[in-house]
């Protein structure tokens, strides 16, 4: 049975592994060297047609590749029928299935695992993504990306590995070959609208620029964080927590060059976004009160306590 399964919620690495396996199979030409490729989707396919294709020799190719994506969206009974067909074997056909998970009641996972044909790809936890980014930049693009700058890229783009890799590819395309990826590069080239929205809102709130607060907030709520104001609250909580740490250290007499290494932000960003100036706009005690207020606000947003946009806007405005 030439059947291989790729599982997990990490769509980027899962798809890359599947394509590598397909390429390997197609490279093992044999015969006339021609290999037909078919792609089916579990959420809208007819299993009988896939079964017929598996059992039928292609008129123009000696070998065939069948890829079934979203296998877990196929009806369980139809999965079982196809499993039986694929088990019958066909030396000229290789089947590759992709799914988030397989039915544990089926015999298929055990058989695939025993044959060494089951591969799983799970998304890394968020705190591990900077490490993944640094490794990805080094291995795929031959570039250095330190963990602090990788964290900036994560904060800017979000947790989607596919989107993060797209931004790495963009950086690799536009930057001089072989050089490191820096915070300045990320600030200049990565998703400019998202960067401006996030950092501008944080800076506006930190510097207490009341006139600029509402346009910056609306930019977030109408675009990147539409219908998810609680995420904006989470982001602002993290930013205010950093500002509290800075203010506390400044009150203790620490200087900028001593503070920057402790807050895990690129010096370029700290200076450009005026973190120390932001920290000085409130006392440490006031920052603590704002953090308590933000934590409560986030919970209330998740509970649906602010159904209207103007209520959300007024709540944020009360923190400027």
Q: Which domain holds residue 312?
A: 193-317
Residues 179 and 209 in one domain: no
Tens of pLDDT, residues 104-144: 777 888 888 888 999 999 999 988 999 999 999 999 999 99
pLDDT digits (tens, 9 = 90+) for 48-82: 999 999 999 888 788 899 999 999 999 999 999 99
The predicted model scores a pTM of 0.61
Q: Which residues contact 64 (CB under 8 A, 6 or more apart)?
A: 35, 36, 37, 38, 53, 54, 58, 92, 93, 94
* CB neighbour burial string for 217-247, b if at least 16 within 10 angstroms, e if fewer: bebbbeebbeeebbebbbbbbebbbbbbbbb
204 shares its domain with 223: yes
- For residue 53, what are the CA distances in angstroms to 25, 67, 73, 85? 18, 12, 20, 11
pLDDT of residue 303: 85
The reported pLDDT for the residue numbered 228 is 84
Q: What is the pLDDT of residue 34?
A: 76
Which pLDDT score is estimated for 1? 55
Residue closest to 69 by CA, chosen among 32, 22, 113: 22
Last residue of a domain, one of 165, 183, 201: 183
d(CA 218, CA 89): 58
Same domain, 62 and 134: no
Identify the band that residue 192 occupies on the pLDDT scale cut at 50, 70 and 90: low
pLDDT of residue 48: 93
State how far the Cα of 302 lies from the Cα of 230, in Å rounded to an integer: 7
Whether the per-residue pLDDT at 236 is higher than 90: the answer is yes
Q: What angle do CA 191, 223, 273 make, to 5 degrees?
A: 50
107 and 132, same domain (yes or no): no
Same domain, 242 and 278: yes
Residue 223 lies in a domain: yes
């Amino acid at each position: 049975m030439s059947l291989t399964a790729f599982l997990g919620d990490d769509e980027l690495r899962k798809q890359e592994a599947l394509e590598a396996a397909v390429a390997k199979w197609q490279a093992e030409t044999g015969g006339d060297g021609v290999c037909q490729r078919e792609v089916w989707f579990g959420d809208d396919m007819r299993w009988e047609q896939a079964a017929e294709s598996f059992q039928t020799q292609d008129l123009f190719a000696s070998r065939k590749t069948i890829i079934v994506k979203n296998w877990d969206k196929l009806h369980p009974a139809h999965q079982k029928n196809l499993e039986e067909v694929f088990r019958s074997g066909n030396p000229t056909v290789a089947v590759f299935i992709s799914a988030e998970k397989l039915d544990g009641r089926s015999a298929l996972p055990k058989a695939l695992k025993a044959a060494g044909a089951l591969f799983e790809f799970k998304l890394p936890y968020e705190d591990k993504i900077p490490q993944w980014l640094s490794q990805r930049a080094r291995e795929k693009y031959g570039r250095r990306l330190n963990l602090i700058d990788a964290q900036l890229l994560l904060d800017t783009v979000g947790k989607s590995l596919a989107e993060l890799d797209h931004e790495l590819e963009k950086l690799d395309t536009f930057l001089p070959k072989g050089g490191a990826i820096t915070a300045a590069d990320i600030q200049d080239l990565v998703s400019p609208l998202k960067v401006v929205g996030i950092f501008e809102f944080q800076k506006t709130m930190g510097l207490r620029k009341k006139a600029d607060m509402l346009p910056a907030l609306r930019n977030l709520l109408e675009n990147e964080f539409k219908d998810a104001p609680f995420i904006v609250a989470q982001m602002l909580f993290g930013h205010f927590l950093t500002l509290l740490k800075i203010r506390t250290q400044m009150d203790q007499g620490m200087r900028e060059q001593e503070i920057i290494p402790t807050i895990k932000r690129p010096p370029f960003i700290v200076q450009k976004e005026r973190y120390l100036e932001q920290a000085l706009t409130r006392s440490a005690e006031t920052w603590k009160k704002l953090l308590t207020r933000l934590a409560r606000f986030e919970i209330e947003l998740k509970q649906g306590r602010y159904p209207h946009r103007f209520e959300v806007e007024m709540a944020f405005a009360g923190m400027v």
